[in-house]
Structure 1
Amino acid sequence: MRKYLVQAGHFGLLWLSLLVNLYFLIFQPRSAISLRRLGLSAGIALGLVVLLWLLRERGMTATGWRAISTKGWWMGMILAVVLFIIAPAPTLHSLIAPVEVRLNFEPLDSQEATFQLVWLNNGLADLSFNDLELPPTAQITPGGVSLTAGQGQPAEVRWHGRIWQELLVTVQSRTPLRLSAQVGSQSREILLEGGANEKGIHLPYLSFGLYAAGYVLVMALGSLSLAWLAQISLNGVAWFIRRYPDTLGRLICHLPLASLVGVGLFYLLTLRSGHPWGDDFAQYIAHARNLAQGQPYTAIGIMHNPAVVLGPSAYPPLLPLLLVPLYAVFDLNLTIFKLVGVACGLGSLALFNEWLKDRFPPPLRALAILLAGLHPWFWDYKDQILSDMPFVLLGMLSLLWWERWRDSKAGVKGWMVGLAIAAAITARSVGFLLLAAVLVDAILHRRWQTRDFWFVIGIPLLVAMMLNLVLPSTGDYLDQTRGWNWSILQENINSMISFFQGMWRNDMLRIGEVSLISMIGIALLILGLVFRLPYLGAVEWFVLGNLAMIAVWPYNQGFRFYLPISFFVFYYVLYGWQQGSIFFSKFNPIPSGMVQKGISFLALAIFTVGVLQGYLSDYRRIPLKEFDNGIGLPASQQMFEYVREETRPPDVIAFFKPRALALFTGRNAFAPYWNPQQPQRLLEDLKTFRADYLVVWKPDYADLAGFARNQFPLLFENDDFEIYSSSSLRP
């Protein structure tokens, strides 16, 4: 009898664990307890328990609580954490009893005050004003609820419902107010200063500790059944290995290739139409057109205004050379041109995998490829017609070949390394950082004394000198350094800190304003850099060189400047995890080491799932088939068509993106100077360059549009653009 009672208890615990997983992960509604769904979850859990019991009784599976290995328990725990982060669950607020909320507003120093209740949020969602109990004089407007209160006659707002962690109330009042708030049994009195700005009021209700304790309790209970299922899977894998001993190993070795194929398919399926407005791409295409048609390289149809920084008159020629055959065959086809970026992005990931072979096992390499290749910021550049992706490819190739030559591995010669670095310099001028990194590494490893090393250094320098002779203004960015001051350094360092915090952003696991995923990522990154200190090489010097350039460069380029080192950031994170796990395993209270391994894999699982969930959140917010702004939008195409059809080839157009306008319309263009405090400068530029038309992009230059309406005749207008005739200013 006792035996059956023990078995019933064991399977009862299994049933309860399955019930928790089914209800919280699959069936639970967002904001309330559903008895019907709870009953459905209980029924399905009971059916699964009966099935497992029958399989056990018939000898088809020997898994029971005592048969679960330490690895099975850890797998169950890790699966629980992963699943509850993905869901996200549990939404424990549904277990919290609704509370009564009373908000009484009363003016401090006037007889009557009119103010606006702008926003209420219960920690889960914004509250509808229609769900509030409002005074008879209250009016619901698009901007909130308009309320009136007087001395001794407060405006009372009531609401009944569930609150998770805190109730956020936003108020706008020019008159100082006293708020008497009662949330359940908790009362608070808050003084609000008057003014035009909105005031946010936080009314705490549940502590983070309570939330965390409930979360951990539910995950622990859910992990019990997942451990059972994990052990069944482990038994199946063990049988498969006994039956087919070599197959699993081969499959694991192909994981990096599977990651590459998956990333490649995602890139091709999300190839976006159009192009963002930053018109560097237009200059690269214009250079390629000129090479294909035998025209002067720098004849791109724009007039340079020294008061406006656009970039050099000639960009490094590698990307235009790659585009020349495509332009010759397909003409001005942006979709075809974007395939160059996709191919270079995938090629750089393949080289990254090759570089990692001596550092990580296949599963960790596959993870590095997924984390780096699927990052929304990296993905965003894969279909932009810029030199960044070719430079990432050539930078990765240069560093890979350099390390193999430095370590005297067969198959790589010094001239090959030199050619790769030279090609990187012809892609982007920042390629000189590769040359500097290699030179420092050669000195530290005493490899500069060999004859072959002079090919490594000499070929890039020779190519750079030839490039400067043929195209003297190639890569000349000195104009952008005008007006440099020390405040730029401080701003860039602050931006760098924000970049690394946002690189792994995740909205789920947060403590106040702090993201747990970002904290794990930054901690592992620092740990990886610390473990690499004794082994500094060209990669580390290249990363440090890029970070130094980002810190001092006066124009913040966002992720673009981090693109060449983004792969290595993920390498350092995973290297920090790998070496940290090895270091942690030395403190071995349990001989098997499963505790240390379990904790390290749990940390990696939380970080990986949190990062991928953050990626998914980003992809849900952005269009995957077209750019949400840029030249491909109907308004932009209408503007281009008007310029082509209604202006003459000799006409001069003033527009803040002159290279794109010149490319798509064939007209001469320049970028005028505009400062709302100095409108006369605009008129001087229009007169100096003999401008016939002024094109205004209203989303970014609404103040210019207002000024132009009072100065020039309006010829064309749509949602985004206005075109004015400025020929009256011509001398």
Structure 2
Amino acid sequence: MPLRPIKIYARPALLLVYLVLGCTYLYRIRADHNWGDDFAFYLSQARSLTQHTVDQLIEYNLFCIKASSAEFFSPVLAPWGWPILLSGVYVFFGANIVAFKVLVILFFFLFLGMLYPLFKNKLNVVLLHFFILYLFASTYYFDHTTVVLSELPFLFFAALGLYLIDRYDGQSPTLRLMIVMGIVLSFATFIRTEGVLLFGALLAVQFRQALKNRVFTVGTWKRISIPYISAGIFTLLFISLFESGFISHVNHLKLVSAQTIAKSLERLFNGYGALFSVYLEQPLKSIVYGLFLFGFFSRFCRDLPISVFLMGLLAVFIIWPYHELRYLYLSFPFILYFTIQGLAGFSTYLFNGPVFAYSVAAVAGVIAVIGFSAHVGNFDRSTVTEGPYTVQSKEMFHYIREYTDSDAVVIFFRPRALTFFSERRSAMIFDHIENVISTGDYMVLANEKGSYFQIDPRTVDAYRQRFPTKLIEVFHNSQFTVFEIAKDG
């Protein structure tokens, strides 16, 4: 078949695939959320902005951290970037979880769209669209759009920042470009603190330019300094308007050890293998990682800002003493990019052209789409994810909100969620029931959670047998039991 007709039909066919995938993301939206209460942390901050209750929220969060059994489970405040974006939705739609999920999906679509200008001069058009399609059809990113967290918005701002750095490096930058770049890089840092690594990418580019030119004129110093001046002014304005509490998260570094680093390396190896494909067995995993390393080192200088940013992310993930697969979502697109570059280089070296790379990409793309289709086929819109949006959870939150004093302290295994949904101070106490009695006015037990971040229900039953007037059951449904804690005197 002649090549020209293929090109004519390829673009609308590709657009149709993207449209179908996009509609599938929107179709997946349900008015629910899981129990991970980071999302409630962000939403509480967004609401506090719209209601001018930031000081009260800080008081609640400080109490939660000090009273809880887990010392390091939460910062006082999350970085303000994501709550600010959420607050715009809150103004128009209130606490509508569907509206927040639409915003998350929108940022994921914007990120995928940003990949085209960022990589269009680095990958040929076939591999570039495979790259975007593979991420679009990733079941991991698909599932991550069902939670209201900051990873996907951060990816958009990181990609935008890298694109601006790339333009800064490849031309005589305009004043507007340098000012906008400084603002974007700063705001990315206020979405997630990993955004500071973008400044490392910019610094690496500037250092290479300085080594190349070796002549420092007034124009050179302006080119170097203006992005940082712009970022500095924006940061000063930002922190003058918004309280900073996320710096307290650096306390977690006290937990870093040789054992945590070794565990992180193991989890990184297995985690990236899962993101490439659940079907990736050990021999194939080694080949894929080999292609990544080949692509990374062969393109390191040509893609310097992306390389430095990725190295920084990997260093953070290795050092950080906790691990969740969602952290790897920040770096996987760039690992995938270098893997594709390695595949293209290998194909050119052995087969004198991209045909082999196209073939491998096509097979991987078909597998990804089939896996995505099967994943979507198992989706049931009628179910509600276990979490704060089940009927039983809503009943419990309603009871707390309507039948407890506004200054009551409620002990619960997800305290930030209880604070958001019931507007009460809360703490997560799971070590000793005596601490629950002395700290709380009410205790909510999740009936089927056992000792998961709460006092085991069996311990509660034994305590009530010893002190029958101390814990008074005031509410019960199939998921929760609420006890009022009687105070002496």
**TM-score normalized by the length of structure 1:** 0.59
Distance 1:606 1:518, change over 3 A: farther
Which structure has the larger Rg over C-alpha atoms? 1
The answer to whether the 8 A contact 2:32-2:385 is kept is: no
How far is 1:597 from its partner? 6.0
Please report how far the alpha carbon of residue 259 of structure 1 lies from its aligned counterpart in structure 2 after TM superposition.
Answer: 4.9
Which residue number in structure 2 is paired with residue 695 of structure 1? 444
Deviation, structure 1 residue 341:
0.8
Which amino acid in structure 2 is aligned with residue 286 of structure 1?
Answer: S
Secondary structure of residue in 2 paired with 1:695: strand
Change (3 A) 1:617 1:265: closer
Asked if residue 289 in structure 1 is aligned to residue 289 in structure 2, the reply is no
**1:696–1:723 CA contact under 8 A, matched in 2:** yes
TM-superposition CA deviations, 1:370-390 (whole Å, max 9, x none) = 111221221222232222222
Conservation of the 8 A alpha-carbon contact between 1:521 and 1:573? yes
* Conserved? CA contact 1:255–1:363, under 8 Å: no
1:185-584 equivalences in 2 (<5 Å): 234=1, 238=2, 248-252=6-10, 257-296=15-54, 299=57, 301-302=60-61, 303-306=63-66, 307-308=69-70, 309-408=72-171, 413-446=177-210, 449-469=220-240, 470-507=242-279, 514=281, 518-559=285-326, 561-584=327-350
Contact 1:326–1:336 under 8 Å retained in 2: yes
Do the aligned partners of residues 619 and 573 (structure 1) sit closer, same or farther apart at CA in structure 2, a change above 3 Å counting? farther
The question of 1:724 aligning with 2:476 is answered: no
Distance 1:516 1:625 in 2: 40
1:619-659 Cα distance to aligned partner (Å, 9 max, x none) = 45565676632212223223222323432322210112112
Partner of 2:425: 668
Residue 695 of structure 1 deviates from its aligned partner by 1.2
Q: CA shift at 1:443, angstroms?
A: 0.8
Q: Secondary structure at the match of 1:315?
A: coil
- CA, structure 1 residues 438+598, in 2 after alignment: closer, same or farther (shift >3 Å)? closer
Give the counterpart of 2:461 among 709, 713, 724: 709
- Tell me the alpha carbon deviations over residues 65-111 of structure 1, each in whole angstroms, 9 at most, x when there is no partner: xxxxxxxxxxxxxxxxxxxxxxxxxxxxxxxxxxxxxxxxxxxxxxx
In structure 2, how many angstroms separate the alpha carbons of the residues matched to 1:267 and 1:626?
17
Partners of 1:626 and 1:529 in 2: how far apart? 43
Q: What is the match of residue 629 of structure 1? A: 386
Q: 2: CA distance between counterparts of 1:297 and 1:574?
A: 48
| 2: CA distance, partners of 1:707 / 1:605 | 57
The CA distance in 1 between the partners of 2:264 and 2:88, in whole Å, is 39
Q: Note closer, same or farther for the CA distance 1:610–1:324 as it changes in structure 2 (3 Å cut).
A: closer
Q: Name the residue aligned to 2:468.
A: none
Paired letter, 2:420 = L
Cα gap change, 1:418 to 1:627, in 2 (>3 Å): farther
Whether the 8 Å CA contact 1:528–1:576 is kept in 2: the answer is yes
- How far 1:671 sits from its partner (Å)? 2.0
1:610 to 1:256, Cα distance in 2 relative to 1, 3 A: closer
Q: Secondary structure at the match of 1:442?
A: helix
Aligned-pair CA distance for 1:579? 1.4
The answer to whether the 8 Å contact 1:653/1:695 transfers is yes
Give the letter for the 1:683 counterpart. E
Which of structures 1 and 2 has the larger relative contact order (alpha carbons within 8 angstroms, sep 6+)?
Answer: 2
1:610 counterpart residue number: 367
Q: In structure 2, give the amino acid aligned to 1:569.
A: I
Of Structure 1 and Structure 2, the greater helix share is in 2
Instruction: Tell me by how many angstroms 1:709 deviates.
Output: 1.8
Deviating beyond 6 angstroms after TM superposition, the runs of 4 or more aligned structure 1 residues are 409-412
Gaps of 5+ in 1: 1-233, 587-595
Structure 2: distance between partners of 1:250 and 1:602: 21
- Measured in 2, the distance between the counterparts of 1:552 and 1:627 equals 36
Q: Number of aligned pairs?
A: 465
SS in 2 for 1:714: strand
SS of residue in 1 equivalent to 2:53:
coil
The equivalences for 1:42-81 within 5 A come to none
The aligned amino acid for 1:604 is A
Summarize the Cα distance change of 1:388–1:505 in structure 2 as closer, same or farther, 3 Å threshold: closer
SS in 2 for 1:326: helix
Q: Give yes or no for contact 2:272–2:332 (8 Å, CA) kept in 1.
A: no
CA shift, 1:660, in A, is 1.1
CA contact (8 A) 2:137 2:368 kept: no
The residue identity in structure 1 corresponding to 2:123 is F
**Equivalent residue number for residue 193 of structure 1:** none
Question: Structure 1 pair 346/601, CA: closer, same or farther in 2 (3 Å)?
Answer: closer
Q: CA deviation at 1:613?
A: 3.7
Are the equivalent residues in 2 in contact too, given 1:654–1:693 (CA < 8 A)? yes
Identity across the alignment (%)? 19
Aligned residue identity for 1:305: I
Mapped to 1, the partners of 2:376 and 2:282 lie a distance apart of: 19
Q: Paired residue for 1:684, among 420, 425, 435?
A: 435
1:477-515 alpha-carbon deviations (Å, 9 max, x no partner): 1232333322111111111111022123344xx8xxx36
Pair 1:652 & 2:430 matched = no
The alignment's TM-score, normalised by the length of structure 2, stands at 0.86
Q: Is the 8 A contact 1:298 1:313 kept in 2?
A: no
Q: Partners of 2:165 and 2:344 in 1: how far apart?
A: 25
Task: Flag the structure with higher strand content.
Answer: 1
Post-superposition CA distance 1:15-60 (Å, at most 9, x none): xxxxxxxxxxxxxxxxxxxxxxxxxxxxxxxxxxxxxxxxxxxxxx
* Distance in 2, Cα, partners of 1:398 & 1:338: 24
Q: Deviations over 1:647-677 (max 9, x none)?
A: 23222101121121111112221222x24xx
Residues 658 and 670, structure 1, Cα contact 8 Å, conserved in 2: yes
Contact 1:699–1:720 under 8 Å retained in 2: yes
For 1:289 and 1:334, the matched residues in 2 are separated by: 13
> Quick check: 2:64–2:425 contact (8 Å CA) kept in 1?
no
